[in-house]
Every structure is written in C-alpha cells, then in structure tokens.
Chain A
Amino acid sequence: MTQEGETVQTADTKEQEDGYEPKLVAFLCKWCSYAGADLAGGGRIKYPANVRIIRVPCSCRIDPKLVVKALERGADGVLVSGCHPGDCHYTEGNYYTRRRMLMLFKLLEFLGLDPKRVQMSWVSASEGPKWAQVVEEITEDIKSLGPIST
C-alpha cells in the first residue's frame, strides 16, 4: 500500500528529472570496508560518485537511528558495510550490526520505504573490486527507485 505510493512517485520523478543523481550515505567500518574502499582507490577502480562515506570504528557503532536520520535528512539511500561475519576486528561487532539492521529493515518496511533504500554488505580490506561493485549496485537500485516521496 504505502510502497505503491512510492512506486508512483518514482515513475513521475524519473520522467521529470532526466539524469537524476541520488545521494547516498555509507557507514563503513574502518578495518574492513573503509580499507576495502581505499584499496579500490589504490586500484583506480571507477564507481559512481554518489556515495558519501562516514568512517566508524566498527559497524556496530552504527546506530540504526542514524540510518533513519540520514533518510530523514534527504539521503536517498544508506549503505552499511563491515567485515565479513567471523572476521570482525572486535570479534563480534558485526553480528550485532546484522541483528540491528534486520530489525531496522522491518521498521523501514512498516514505514513504507522500499527495503532497497537501506542495504548492508560485507566488504573486507582486500575486496576493492567488491566495494566498487556494491556501490555500483546500490546506486543503480536507488536510481531506479527515485527520491523518497514526502
């Protein structure tokens, strides 16, 4: 029902704004995903310029409220990325993140937001190409969704 509203809006927007560039916020843990993003840079792997990265010590530092805040303040999508399960620098931080984000997804769905607006990924410090691919994908996803209807 609510999602339907968003779909309608999306179609409108896409017609109105040709070449719509979404703004995305990405919260990255400094040990894995942030280092992976650095590695993508070192390898000069190109990806869309829509993402603004916020560096945090561990993905478990990402309060789900911050994700909601980002959306409230105009971000079209949010990405949360940390170490692969089992590889957390702090042993178990990303397990907490995973649980928290699953709860957040439910909340977002309840609010009528497309679940693709907020995505979670595991990118290790050696996965530069994967980071580029993750950004590529979420940017595409959000582009096809369009801005959040208000």
Chain B
Amino acid sequence: MTRIGVFVCWCGSNIASTVDVEKVAELAADLPGVAYSTTYKYMCSDPGQKLIAEAIKEHDLDRAVVAACSPSLHEPTFRGCLENEGLNPYMLEIANIREQCSWVHTDRDEATEKALDLIAMAVAKVAHNAPLVAGSIPVTRRALIIGGGISGIQAAIDVGLAGYEAVIVEREPSIGGRMAQFDKTFPTLDCAACILTPKMVAVSRNPNIKIYTHAEVEEVTGYVGNYVAKIRLRARSVDADKCTGCGTCWQKCPKRVSSEFDQHLGMRKAIHIPFPQAVPRVPVIDRDNCLYFQRGKCRICETSCEVGAVDFEQEDEVIEEKFGAIIVATGFTTFDHSTYKEYGAGQLKDVITGLQFERMVNSSGPTGGRILRPSDGKEVNTVVFIACVGSRDRAKGVAYCSRLCCMYTAKHGLLFKEHNPDGQAYVFYMDIRAAGKNYEEFVRRAQEEFGVNYLRGRVSRIFEEDGQLVVRGADTLSGTQVEVKADLVVLATALIARDDAVDVARMLGIPYDENRLFTEGHPKLAPVETVTSGVFLTGACQAPKDIPDTVATASAASAKALALFSSDVLTGEPMVSCIDTSLCSGCFACQEVCPFGAIEAVEIRDAMTRENKEVAHVIESLCHGCGNCTVVCRAGAPNLAGFSHEQILAELLAV
C-alpha cells in the first residue's frame, strides 16, 4: 500500500480565497493511499518545505502530491524537497490548483470541488509513479550563435573569454548588425561605430571564435549538449583566403545598386562590402545585380584583383557542426509604414524612417552626415518626428511599446539641432517613456538645452503642398490643431520580429508569441532561457531592447551556455520511453513515427520460443519523451515513464 502525503498550499490568498483549502485537505485524507494531508500558507517557502520534509519522516511517506501553482513553477522545488528526504524526486505529482483553478474561477464551491478533483487525479496518478533515474549525456562544449549583431558579438566574446568555442553565423556579408547602421547612441552620444568596431575586431581576432558571414543555419537537430547544425555558407564569389580587402574591385565595379545598409538612401556596387568597417573585410558579389552573372560579360573585378581572389565559379557550401548550446541573437526589423495611408503610405519621398535618418546623419552615410531632403537634396530646416508609428497601435501595428523610439527620437531631435542650430525640430508623441539610466535626463536635455519642440498628440495627416510637407496633428496639451510645414518627416517605426522569425522558431523548437517574438522560459525568472533546454535568447528577437539591455541579455545567455559547458556530462531526461520486449512483435511501427530516430532494432532471445527475434529498443539519450510510440503500438509495448498508460488511466478514472 502506498503512503501518499497531500500538501495543499494556500499561496497566501491566491488559492485560499477561492478554494476552501482546509476542506480540500480534510477530504483528500480519505482518498485511497493517502496517509497524511495538510495545508500551509506558502508550501514553496522554507518552512513549507520543512513541513513536507518532516511529514515524510514522521508519517513514513513514500510519495507526495503538492496542490499548489503550476508544475512549471515549483515542480523542481518540490522534487528537490523529496530528494533531500531520501525519496526519489519523481515520486511527486503537482495538482495545479492555482493557475488552472483558483485564478480562473470565482464560485468558491465550484472551485473547491474542482480542486479536490484535481488532487484526487494527482493522488491516483502518483500511486503509479515509479522511481526514475536520469542518465547522463555528453556535452559538446561549443556554442552556436545565430546572428552577428551586437548581441551575438557580445555572447561570442563572453563564451570565447571563458575558453570555449563560439561560432557566429551571420546572414549578412559582415557582422555588426543594426548597431553598425546607427550614428550615435543614447544617452551618452557615443558614436556607435566607435564602440562597436573594437568589439567586431575583438571577435574576429579571438582564436576561440569562428565567424561565418553570408551564411545561414538551415537545420538544427539533436538536443541539449548535442545539437547538430547544418550551415549554408553562401557563395561570396570571392576567395576569402586570398582577398586582402584592398577595395580595388568595388571601386572599379561599374554596376551601382541601391544600398540595403544605407536603407536605400545611397548606392553600393554589385561587388561590395556593406560598410567600410566590415568584418570580415571580404566583399561579396551580389549575383542578382552583377553584370557578369546577369549578362555574361564584364569581369572587371576579376581582372582588377591583383591576388586573383574573385571566383565566379564558387558555389554554396553546406557544412555540419556539433554544438552544446545555441544562442539565438537574430534581432529585429522595423515596421513597414506603408499601411499608414495618412502618413503617405511610403509614397512621400521626404517621409523617412528613424533608421534612414540614422544613416543620413552618419558622417560615413550616403549624405556624408548632411541632413538633406531625399526628394531634391536640399538642406532641411524644419523636421517633424512622429513617435509610435506601428507601436501601441492595435489596429495597424503592434500592441506593445517598442521601448526605444522615445529615446532615439530625442536623440534624432538633438542631433538635428546640433547639425542645424537654426532649424526647427518638432516631435509628436503619445507619452514619453524614458525609463533607463540617464534617459529622462537625456530627453530633458533635448527639450531644454537643444530646444526640440515636443507636441503631445497624434498626427492625422501628412500631405504635400508647394513642394513642402504639411504635417497636421493635434496638440492635446493646448487643445489645438496644429499644422507644421516641414522639409522632412521622420517616423519612429516599431521594432518588430523578423520576417522569418517563425521559421527560426520552428527550426529550433522554441515557442513564439502573437507578435512572432520568441518566448522566454519564464517572463520573470527565466528571461534568456527557452523551454527547449540548451537554447537561449538574447537581444531584440525576444522583445524590443536597447543596446545596454541587449548586451546584458547576451552576457546572461552566454553565462547560461557556460554553465552547461562547466561539466562534460549533463543529467538527462528520465521521462523517456521504454519498450516491453515481451510484448513487442517487431513490427517497428514505433520506429516509423519516432521524430528523433530514438528507436533501434535489437536482437533478443525469446524466452518462450528460445529463438532469436528482432525487437524495438529505445535509445534513451535520443528519446525526448513525446510518447508517440506509446500510442502507435497495438500491443502497448512502449510505455512512457512519468506519463505511463497506468498513470494516465488512473488520472482519468479519478475524474
């Protein structure tokens, strides 16, 4: 007979206000197999855990049910509690009476009845729990970092510094990401390149760090400690080993193409590096625009290259590498404002985005740092900045606040006034959100010291009149309609998930939210982890983040990866499948449905017929414990530890 202890948590008033915990505990005492039942205010607290420990000793309990919050929160806590008392940690079940009961119901009787049912189900299940022992799995001490922006760079530096190998895979021809496009950074006005490029050089020099640019991760298989990534190294058409980065080829190249890096405000060549400080300083031929690839003649870059690095025959290469951890640093993109018809739907040439302004104001940018109207190249005397374009707009954009637009808009206003002290800068805003160290002070400085005019209100329309833009909006503080004649309008477009974010999430088996942003393991307590162990998040792929937060999460993610690397073996997942060979007929239906190739054929001697037969066998280190094999087998030979046939049936029968 089992000796089950039932521990009902009040969770302060979180559970106790809706569920009659005392009554539940009292009734639970009569459930089959229950030897002891009690309640406590906070079961997860130290005294709560002590109470469980003492009850285990005093009442000679051999398993426990804790009725409290979701198992995703404190299952590990209570497992540890059992383990400390010499019980197997898996002799525990959690009845989720908070998230799935007290918090979602209001009627006390109904909630109490449901809580008791949930406990009865957990009690029935735990009676069938068996001690489980986790196996150990080896760890490849290398980190794959997807994305070579500031967050990927920082993560690589941290992993590399600790003495482990990091591999950055960057889609663009150079690392640097978004930060490389920025002019100055708030609130210190450090030049972005001045603080980024030393880091770019540092990663390229670190012998522990390998960088694949112009490359993409195509497929990821495996599991924590043992991931295998297929990486496509797209053909550069330039031999990186031979290239010296002298620049002759892109100076000589006759084909000019609109520059993505300059946000289409400037031009680049068909053979190009995206920006002067690119790492590696090896150009790429854009085959879609190259005269030779398109029309079969030109080859000027090839003839001008003294070292013979240009290689038109180069092909994509797909390599496979092993990793123990994956750090996702894929970053963000900006909201496409063409859905805002009132702002010209992207058709007005002098309505640009914040990122375009960033390129324009940059001294190595397309205008050499001069703020000019894209339509006619004239100096800008009046500029209007519009905040929250796409952000906080459930109808046309995203519901969330993009967090940095208030700050970069203040920076843009300030930079404009620095360039043109006699010019006028207006900012239309909804609220100013400047929460960060020295942020509020920075916005004040833009307003008070530099005289940027802040108008609280939305812009209703932008239109052209006499070669100028007219910005019509409301100033809600003075309660008036305002019209500003502007040379340039800059939209602070929302930061959003990249177009292929969902593909990346699916490739890695990590969840994403309604905005396609990757979901962290826990919103508060596991902000850089994901539910997939060994996959960590950093930077704006999880939510909009400024540079300090991005760098902080990059270091946090790398610390998590390094913790994995601190030992050469990991404790495996014991909730895996196991096949009863006496029931197995060797049909291998289970092998066909296993997504992980965790089922192999082994030969055993049949005890009855005394003949050899082939049966299925689970390779524990490959099994992820989904349970597909348990359902497909007609004989019911596979069973899943922790979610066995007996456990689920017992739970069901207790309803």
A57-B625, A60-B626, A63-B631 known; A73-B99 Cβ under 8 A: no
Chain A residues positioned under 8 Å from B207 (CB to CB) = none
Q: Is A11 an interface residue (CB 8 A)?
A: no
Q: Is A5 an interface residue (CB 8 A)?
A: no
- In the complex, the answer to whether A45 meets B511 with C-beta atoms within 8 Å is no
Q: Is B104 an interface residue (CB 8 A)?
A: yes
- In the complex, the answer to whether A38 meets B99 with C-beta atoms within 8 Å is yes
- In the complex, the answer to whether A57 meets B99 with C-beta atoms within 8 Å is no
Q: Is B71 an interface residue (CB 8 A)?
A: yes
Chain B residues positioned under 8 Å from A96 (CB to CB) = 593, 628, 631-632
Q: Which residue of B lies closest to A65 (CB)?
A: B631
Q: Which residue of A lies closest to B509 (CB)?
A: A89
Q: Is B359 an interface residue (CB 8 A)?
A: no
Q: Is A79 an interface residue (CB 8 A)?
A: no
Q: Is B103 an interface residue (CB 8 A)?
A: yes
Interface centre among B98, B114, B626 (most CB of A within 10 A): B626
Q: Is B575 an interface residue (CB 8 A)?
A: yes
Chain B residues positioned under 8 Å from A73 (CB to CB) = 652-653, 655
Quick one: which of B110, B505, B630, B652 contacts A49, CB cutoff 8 A? B110
Interface centre among B509, B519, B627, B645 (most CB of A within 10 A): B627
Interface centre among B98, B509, B642 (most CB of A within 10 A): B509
- In the complex, the answer to whether B117 meets A52 with C-beta atoms within 8 Å is yes
- In the complex, the answer to whether B643 meets A57 with C-beta atoms within 8 Å is yes
- In the complex, the answer to whether B630 meets A44 with C-beta atoms within 8 Å is no
Interface residues on B, range: 35 or more
Chain A residues positioned under 8 Å from B114 (CB to CB) = 49, 52
Q: Mark B614-638, 1 if CB is under 8 A from A, else 0.
A: 0000000000111110111000000
Q: Which residue of B lies closest to A64 (CB)?
A: B631
Q: Mark A44-73, 1 if CB is under 8 A from B, else 0.
A: 111101001111111011111010011001
Q: Is B106 an interface residue (CB 8 A)?
A: yes
- In the complex, the answer to whether B652 meets A60 with C-beta atoms within 8 Å is no
CB-contacts of B103-129 with A (<8 A): 103-107, 110-111, 113-114, 117-118, 121
Quick one: which of B99, B511, B625, B655 contacts A37, CB cutoff 8 A? B99
Q: Which residue of A lies closest to B594 (CB)?
A: A90
User: In the complex, how many residues of chain A place their beta carbon closer than 8 angstroms to a beta carbon of chain B?
Assistant: 49
Q: Is A41 an interface residue (CB 8 A)?
A: yes
Q: Is A25 an interface residue (CB 8 A)?
A: yes
Chain B residues positioned under 8 Å from A127 (CB to CB) = 514
Quick one: which of A40, A49, A52 contacts B121, CB cutoff 8 A? A52
Q: Mark A80-117, 1 if CB is under 8 A from B, else 0.
A: 00010011011111001000100000000000000000
Q: A98 CA to B101 CA in the complex, in Å?
A: 28
Q: Is B12 an interface residue (CB 8 A)?
A: no
Chain A residues positioned under 8 Å from B509 (CB to CB) = 89-91
A41-B98, A42-B99, A126-B513 known; A57-B71 Cβ under 8 A: no
A70-B652, A132-B104 known; A53-B96 Cβ under 8 A: yes
Q: A132 CA to B111 CA in the complex, in Å?
A: 16
Q: A58 CA to B645 CA in the complex, in Å?
A: 14
Q: A23 CA to B120 CA in the complex, in Å?
A: 15
- In the complex, the answer to whether B96 meets A125 with C-beta atoms within 8 Å is no
Q: A41 CA to B632 CA in the complex, in Å?
A: 33
CB-contacts of A26-44 with B (<8 A): 31-32, 35, 37-42, 44
Chain A residues positioned under 8 Å from B532 (CB to CB) = 89
- In the complex, the answer to whether A25 meets B652 with C-beta atoms within 8 Å is yes
Q: Mark B497-516, 1 if CB is under 8 A from A, else 0.
A: 00000000110010111100
A41-B98, A54-B652, A60-B627 known; A32-B511 Cβ under 8 A: yes
Q: A54 CA to B650 CA in the complex, in Å?
A: 11
Q: A55 CA to B118 CA in the complex, in Å?
A: 11
Q: Is B162 an interface residue (CB 8 A)?
A: no
- In the complex, the answer to whether A125 meets B628 with C-beta atoms within 8 Å is no
Q: Is B70 an interface residue (CB 8 A)?
A: yes
Q: Which residue of B lies closest to A47 (CB)?
A: B104
Q: Is B204 an interface residue (CB 8 A)?
A: no
Q: A100 CA to B514 CA in the complex, in Å?
A: 28
Q: A58 CA to B593 CA in the complex, in Å?
A: 13
Q: A72 CA to B343 CA in the complex, in Å?
A: 61
- In the complex, the answer to whether B104 meets A44 with C-beta atoms within 8 Å is yes
Chain B residues positioned under 8 Å from A125 (CB to CB) = 511, 519, 531
Interface centre among B71, B532, B593, B643 (most CB of A within 10 A): B643
Q: A66 CA to B644 CA in the complex, in Å?
A: 12
Q: Is B228 an interface residue (CB 8 A)?
A: no
Q: Which residue of B lies closest to A40 (CB)?
A: B104
Nearest CB of chain A from residue B466's CB, rounded to whole Å: 49
Quick one: which of B100, B105, B626, B631 contacts A53, CB cutoff 8 A? B100
Q: A91 CA to B104 CA in the complex, in Å?
A: 31
A23-B655, A46-B106, A57-B643 known; A92-B111 Cβ under 8 A: no
Q: A8 CA to B249 CA in the complex, in Å?
A: 84
Can you pick out 18 interface pairs between chain A and chain B where the beta carbons lie within 8 Å of each other?
A31-B511, A35-B72, A38-B96, A49-B110, A49-B114, A52-B117, A52-B118, A53-B96, A53-B118, A61-B643, A62-B631, A69-B649, A75-B655, A91-B509, A91-B595, A92-B595, A93-B628, A126-B511
